[in-house]
């Protein structure tokens, strides 16, 4: 049995809503932020206005919700994980139009035809997409929009990105659970089949010190955490990776944000 397959057999939460328990601080400190240009794009293509109501499914700590809150929208941040939802709820001190909802993408607890946009950012691959599709048809108003977003290290031939992906494969605890994110475009096309789907891409670079690289790694649901017997080896592997690619104490990690949006029929 290889190291990767042995780790994949390690006990791991079957309930996806608990995958990020214990990772909230790393998530909100070290995950990449979504580009604000997304709002301008949705304004141009979807006529997004501050009066529109947003349901952000799998909202996590509220990073995607915050873009719409800054735009003046009312946002229902639907998040089943208690720790993530508590972190998101802290945004209410700055954004009174935020309402955090203890629910799932498949059963949002929102009223029929109550929202104009449904968003899912870095969470879509965890959903039961058949049940979610039916739920969105229920809560969306006529001509409402679905917006699916991904954001993470860019896939490509550059050693800095190729080696990072290899580290996650080598030390990942649940590669099957993570693999859905690699096929987000296929999933989005299936979900939005029967309607016009639009795609946009935003590329960027995160400039990270060692703490940032390690923190980003710990925010990913499949990596070993402190207390895990594999953690010290994983941490050393991250340090070795950082030293190979850093320049004057900073590693430049290319990122890619992809946006898929359309109107459900």
pLDDT above 70 for 67: yes
Kindly give the pairing relationship between strand 251-262 and strand 140-153: antiparallel
* Domain spans in the chain, listed from the N-terminal domain onward: 3-262
The DSSP 8-state label assigned to residue 59 in this structure reads -
pLDDT above 90 for 199: yes
CA nearest 223: which of 213, 233, 231? 231
Phi, psi at 158, each rounded to 5°: -60, 135
Q: What is the pLDDT of residue 233?
A: 97
d(CA 63, CA 32): 9
pLDDT above 90 for 181: no
Q: Which fold is adopted by the domain 3-262?
A: Rossmann fold (3.40.50)
Q: In angstroms, what is the C-alpha Rg of the chain?
A: 19
Place 175 in a pLDDT band, splitting at 50, 70 and 90: low
Q: What is the pLDDT of residue 174?
A: 65
């Amino acid at each position: 049995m290889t190291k990767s397959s042995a780790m994949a057999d390690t006990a791991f939460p079957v309930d996806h809503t608990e995958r990020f328990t214990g990772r909230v601080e790393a998530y909100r400190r070290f995950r990449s932020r979504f580009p604000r240009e997304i709002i301008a794009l949705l304004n141009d293509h979807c006529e997004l206005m501050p009066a529109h109501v947003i349901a952000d499914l799998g909202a996590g700590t509220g990073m995607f919700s915050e873009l719409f809150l800054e735009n003046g929208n009312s946002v229902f941040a639907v998040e089943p994980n208690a720790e993530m939802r508590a972190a998101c709820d802290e945004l209410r001190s700055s954004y009174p139009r935020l309402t955090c909802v203890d629910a799932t993408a498949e059963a949002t607890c929102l009223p029929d035809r109550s929202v104009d946009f449904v968003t899912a950012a870095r969470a879509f691959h965890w959903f039961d997409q058949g049940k979610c599709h039916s739920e969105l048809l229920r809560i969306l108003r006529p001509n409402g929009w679905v917006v699916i977003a991904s954001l993470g290290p860019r896939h490509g031939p550059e050693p800095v990105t190729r080696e990072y992906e290899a580290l996650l494969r080598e030390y990942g605890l649940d590669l099957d659970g993570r693999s859905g994110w690699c096929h987000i475009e296929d999933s989005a096309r299936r979900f939005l089949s029967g309607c016009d789907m639009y795609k946009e891409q935003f590329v960027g670079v995160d400039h990270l010190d060692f703490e940032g690289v390690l923190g980003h790694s710990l925010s990913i649901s499949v990596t070993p955490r402190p207390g895990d017997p594999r953690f010290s080896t994983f941490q050393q592997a991250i340090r070795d990776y950082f030293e190979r690619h850093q320049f004057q104490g900073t590693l430049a990690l290319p990122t890619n944000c992809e946006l898929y949006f359309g109107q459900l029929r």
